[in-house]
Structure formats: C-alpha cells, structure tokens
Amino acid sequence: MQRRLNPRPEPRPRLQALDEAVDESASPLAREADIAHAFDALLPAEVAQKAERIGAHKTRLDALSLLALAVLAGAFIALGAMFATTVLAGADALPYGVSRLLAGGVFGLGLILVIVGGAELFTGNTLIVIAWAAGEVRLGEMLRAWSIVYVGNFIGAAGTAALVYLSGQYLADHGSVGEIALKIALAKVTLPPDRAFFLGILCNVLVCLAVWLSYGARSAGDKVLVILFPIAAFVAAGFEHSVANMYFVPLGLLLKNFGPAALIANVAGLEPLTWARFAISLVPVTLGNIVGGGVLVGGVYWFVYLRRGRPSAG
C-alpha cells in the first residue's frame, strides 16, 4: 500500500519573509548580512519608502472602512487618556515632573493600541504628506482621508467619554478622578490660541516620530518600546493632542452639566468650559498637529530621502 504524503505546510509569514530576503547564491557572509537585516529594524531610508506606501494605501481605503478604523483610534486614544487621568488622581503629593511622567507612561497605551491593534489616527495620518509630496497621492485624496479620520476620531473619543461618564468611573477615589478630569478639560479650553498652536506642533512632532519609529520596527514588542518614550515625553511636557482633547473636554463637559453637585463645587471657575469654547480650542491645536507631523516630520523626511525619487543611503 502506497503511503500518502501530507502536503508541505506553507511557511509562516516571518520565515517566508526571511527566505525571500536571503540570496542563496550569495557568499556566506552576504547571506548572514541578509538574515540579520531581515530581523533588524529598517534603516531610515527604508522607513521613508514604507511611510510613502502606507500613506498611499490609507488614502485608497473605502470611506466606511476608514471611518470605522478612525472610530477605533479615537476610542483607543481615549482609553489612554482615561488611564492617565486615573493615574493623576491623588498625585498632588508627588513632584510635578514625577506625576507627569507617570501619566505620560500610561497614556502610551492609546498609541500602542492604534499601531499594534490597527486603527487610523488623525495625528499619525499627517504623515500622508510624504506620499503626497512624492506624487503618490493627490491633495484631494489626502484631505479626504484626513477629514474622514478626524470625524471618526471625534466619534470614538467623545463616545468613549460618554461611556466613562455613564460608568461612573469618575467617582473613583471619592470623586478625585472626576475633579482631575474637570481641571484638565478647563485647562484645555482656556489655553491661549497661540500657545495651543505651538504646543500642538511640539506634540505631533513626538507622536509622528513614534509612528515613524514603529514603521521601522520588526515585532510588536519593538513597536511598543519605540512608542513609549516619545508619548511619555509629550504628555509630561504638557503638549496638545487634538484627538486626546476630543476625550478630555467632552468628559469635562458631561461632568459639568450632569455630574454630582458636590463634585462640581470642588472645582472653581468652570464657566469657560462650554461646547463653543471646546470647538474653538480644537482649531489651533489641530493646525499645530498638522504642522508638527506633516511638515516637521513628514516633510523633512521626504526632503532627505525621497525628494529625488529614490532614497539615499543611511
């Protein structure tokens, strides 16, 4: 009786990528270099090419898929913001820098979920400028993607704020979590527009550098590690992130308008916290985020690696 052989299993994606990366006809030293490169982080010029491809792909997603992924990203950033707010509750006894560092360290959860889990975040999508500058996408395609993602991020972030309010999580630690949420929201809407603009620039420089580094990472662990420090830096420094504000301020508004009177009484000067002030406050932060991510990160890396059509070494 003839023995039936099982078909050879398909190689796992990582091993298949390794097979494709190694030239069997090359010398042993060259093959070792190919293997090392298959597992090592991408070089900056390779990251630029990858960012160009990713940017073009994002603009060509259908509107419903793009919107759904944007809603997820807004919710993910909101979860990181909720985590940071909870950590800040009762942290007044700590030195300012220490409490901000703790908040920044946990806020990184939001971008980790976006990058590793897969979602579309407006601030990170300012890097689509690379694909536009390289001629891979039209201006209208880029603006369409930004608009859909911005709306989706707002739905996800504000929706998460509503869920947090309905859950009563703000009542934790005798309401200190809610007090911190109110103070954060008030600070966001009373920030002078010029400061909000420049804080938005600085914020998205760090956010887009985190995204840029994640493009070069080979594993989920690598991506988590390269995200943590830039995000911790922007939160600790008090920079302004438009999507995070889509959570912080709506939560504060819900608490101000519908929260317990005892909680409201513990935070003075809430009069400026209104929906109108919130909408106005988003404008300079959003513009700053576009400049920081699109120009100072995306534009600069395009200029260095892609302006001549082919990336230079390095």
Global confidence as pTM: 0.86
Residue type, 230: P
Q: CB atoms < 10 A from the CB of 189, how many?
A: 24
Task: Specify the pLDDT at position 8.
Answer: 47
192 Rama class: left (phi>0) / alpha (psi -120 to 50) / beta: beta
Q: What phi and psi values does residue 126 have, to the nearest 5 degrees?
A: -65, -15
Fold (CATH) for 42-305: Glycerol uptake facilitator protein (1.20.1080)
Model pLDDT, residue 33: 44
Question: Any alpha helices (H) in the chain, and if so which ranges?
Answer: 13-21, 28-39, 44-59, 63-88, 96-107, 109-117, 122-125, 129-133, 139-167, 176-189, 193-216, 220-237, 242-258, 261-265, 275-290, 300-305
Residues 155-175 pLDDT 10s: 999 999 999 999 999 999 999
- Averaged pLDDT, groups of 10, the chain, 314 residues long: 49 48 49 51 92 96 98 98 95 91 96 97 98 96 98 98 97 94 97 98 98 94 96 97 98 96 92 97 98 97 88 47
Model pLDDT for residues 88-132, shown as the tens digit of each residue: 998 888 999 999 999 999 999 999 999 999 999 999 999 999 999
